[in-house]
Amino acid sequence: MKRTLLIFLVLLLITGCTMAPKYERPETPIPREWPKGEAYKPLADAPPSALLRTGQLITDRRMRDVMDMALRNNRDLRLAMLNTEKTKAMYGISLSSLLPTVNAAGTWYKERIPDDLSSTGSAYTAQKSSVTLGLTSWEIDFFGRLRNLKDAALEEYLATEESLRGARILLISTVAQAYFALAADRENLKLASKTYEAHEKTYHLMKKRHDIGLASELDLRRVQSQRDAARGDLARYTQLVAQDENALNLLVGSPVPPELLPTGFSSIAPPQDISEGLLSDVLLNRPDVLAAEHRLKEANANIGAARASFFPRITLTTSVGTASAELSGLFKAGSGVWTFAPQIVMPIFDARTWFAYDVAKLDKEIAVAQYEKAIQTAFRETADALAEKGMIALRLEAQQSLVDHLEAACRLSEARYNKGIDSYLSVLDAQRSLYAASQGLILLKLSDINNKITLYKTLGGGTEKP
C-alpha cells in the first residue's frame, strides 16, 4: 500500500499541470532586410559574420597572442564567468526544491523528574533514544508552482550565460580597438617626429639665411612657430602612446610584452572583412537579444508560479525509525516508530497573492518591451556600421589622393620659394595642410579597422562561445 501511494505521488509530481501561459516569441519590430541606399554597399565576397570565429577575424599573429592573454586574465570577464557559475548554482537550488529532502536523525536525552512533578508522586529518571529517517515538509507540486520557479531560474541562468558570451565579444572587440588605437597613435608619433625633425632642420637653415640677410625675421619666426607646434605634437603623441599602452595592459590584465606591441599600421595585418548576410534575422542571435528573450521567458514562467499560488499547497512530512527508553533496546523487536503527516493549505483571502500576480504580468510586459528595444538597438547599431562601411573606402581613397596632391604642392611651394618666386608663407600653408591631411589619413585608416571590428560586435560575434 505504501509503495503504491509513493508511485502515485511521483506520477502526480511528474505529470502535474503548469499554470504558465504558452510562450510565443514577439514579432520582430525591425525590417527583415537591411537598409538600402547610396551609403550601403555590402561586400559580396566577404564571409558572413555568423560563420566567423575570432581566429578568422584577427589575422595578425602577435595580436592573437595579446587576445589570448586578455581572455585568460581580464578581470571583467572573470567576474562575468563567476556570476554565470553563481547563477548556475542558484538554478541547482531551484531544481532541488522539486525533490524531497531526506534526513536521518538520532536523539538521546535523559532527565530527572522530581516527586512533586511526577504523576506517580515519586521522583524518577526518564530517558529516550531514537533513530529516524524521513522527509520534512516536502511540497508536492500538483499545480506547477515549483516547476515554474525552476524554469524561471533556468532562464535566468541562460540569460547570464548569454551575457557572458556578450562580455567575451565585447572584450575581443575592445582589445582589438585598443591595439589598433595604439598603432594609430604610434603612426601619429612617427609623423610628428618626422615633421619636427624637418622643421628643426629648416629652422637652422633659415636662421643661417637670416644671419647673412637672405631671409627676413618674419620668415624665421614663422619657421620657429611651426617647429614649436611640431614639438608640442611630439610631446602629445608621446603621452597618448603611453596612455594607450596603459589602457591595453588593463584590458589584457597583465603587462603586454614589448615584442607583441605594434609599431604602426604597416606592422599589423588588418582584420578580416565580414558580410552582414542577406537578412536582419541574424540579429536574433546576438547575446544581448538572446539574454533579453531568456528574461522574457523567465517572466512568463513567473506568471505560472503566481497563478499556482491561488491553488492549494500540499506538503508531506513523514519519518520511520526506532525508539526505546534504553539505548541498548533501539533495534529490538517492537521498537519501530513512524509518522505520516500530510498537510494541505488552501488560500482563502490574501491580497498579496493578487498583487503578486499583477506584478508578474507587468514584469512580462516590461520584458517584452526590453526584448523589442534590444532588437531595435541592434538593428540601429548594425545599420550605422553598414553605412560607414559603405562609404569608408571612398573616403580613404579621397584622403589618400588629397595627401598625394598636397605632397606635390609642398614640393612645388618649396621650389618656388627657393627661386624667389613665392614667399615662405605659401610653404608654411602647404606644410600645415599636408600635416593635417596625413593625420586625417591615419584617422580614417583607424576608422576603417574599427568599422570591421564594430560589425563583428554588432552582428553577434560569429559562432564563438565562451
At 332, the pLDDT band (50, 70, 90 cuts) reads confident
Residue-level pLDDT at 466: 42
C-alpha distances in angstroms, 211 versus 35, 220, 223?
65, 10, 15
- How does pLDDT run across 83-117, given as a tens digit for each residue? 999 998 988 888 888 888 888 888 878 888 887 77
Task: Tell me the fold of 18-98+141-311+347-458.
Answer: Outer membrane efflux proteins (OEP) (1.20.1600)
Where are any strands of DSSP class E within 63-202?
A: 102-113, 124-140
Question: What DSSP letter does each residue of 4-24 carry, written as one string?
Answer: HHHHHHHHHHHH----SPPP-
Residue-level pLDDT at 3: 53
- How does pLDDT run across 116-159, given as a tens digit for each residue? 777 777 887 878 778 888 878 888 888 888 888 898 999 999 99
Q: What are the boundaries of each domain within the chain? A: 18-98+141-311+347-458
Residue-level pLDDT at 352: 85
pTM score, two decimals? 0.82
107 vs 398, more confident: 398
Average pLDDT over residues 180-185: 94
Please state the length of the chain. Answer: 466
- How does pLDDT run across 212-238, given as a tens digit for each residue? 877 778 878 888 888 888 899 999 999
Residue-level pLDDT at 370: 95
Instruction: Give the C-alpha separation, 124 to 142, whole Å.
Output: 50
The answer on pLDDT for 174 being more than 60 is yes
Please choose, from the candidates 56, 447, 66, 451, the residue with its C-alpha nearest in 3D space to the C-alpha of residue 262: 66
Residue-level pLDDT at 1: 45
275 vs 174, more confident: 174
